[in-house]
Amino acid sequence: MKTKVLLFVASMILSATAIRAEKAVAGPAGGRLLDTEPARAEFVINAARKGEIRFYDAALKPLAPVQQVVTVTAEPAAGRVKLEVEKTEFGFVTKEAMPAGDPYRVVVQVRATPEAKPQNFRLDLALGNCGGCQRAEYACTCESH
Ligand SMILES: [Zn+2]
């Protein structure tokens, strides 16, 4: 039992470290910028609580999706849900709203083309506002936490 708790704590510390390293650049639409190649991608929760993936060029100008394939998996305590996505002019959006029960883990998988190696991004979806940067917690850009 104790070992399990320690492993859990260790994995929490590891994921917190990974998130901190990605926090530097703010997503233009208020979301979390993902380090995708070649186009940059942003994961943002819109006003309808749907998850959007938006693509940008190196200068963070919006790009229409070309051949990218995206999947979004939410992992709330109630159980893992793979959300279907549809293409928009700027990227993709989930057909359904993100499940209730945040904070929870979300895995966004992006492939540059259907044949490309998938890039996986894990983020902790917390929708409350950060007191430091005034952004949503999942998109926080503060250095300190
Ligand atoms: Zn912040």
User: Within a domain: residue 44?
Assistant: yes
Task: Kindly report the CATH number assigned to the domain that includes residue 25.
Answer: 2.60.40
Instruction: Provide the whole-model pTM.
Output: 0.80
What amino acid is encoded at 133 in this protein? C
Q: 1 CA distance to ligand 1 centroid (A)? A: 34
The pocket of ion ligand 1, defined by CB under 5 A, consists of 130, 132-133, 140, 142
Q: List, for residues 86-126, the tens digit of each pLDDT value.
A: 999 999 999 999 999 999 999 999 999 999 999 999 999 99
Q: List, for residues 61-71, the tens digit of each pLDDT value.
A: 999 999 999 99
Q: 67 CA distance to ligand 1 centroid (A)? A: 33
User: Within a domain: residue 78?
Assistant: yes
User: Within a domain: residue 144?
Assistant: no
Query: Which of the pair, 21 or 6, is modelled with greater confidence?
Result: 6
User: Within a domain: residue 145?
Assistant: no
The number of folded domains in the chain is 1
- Domain of 8 in residue numbering reads as 2-139
C-alpha distances (whole Å) from 134 to each of 108, 129, 140 are: 24, 6, 8
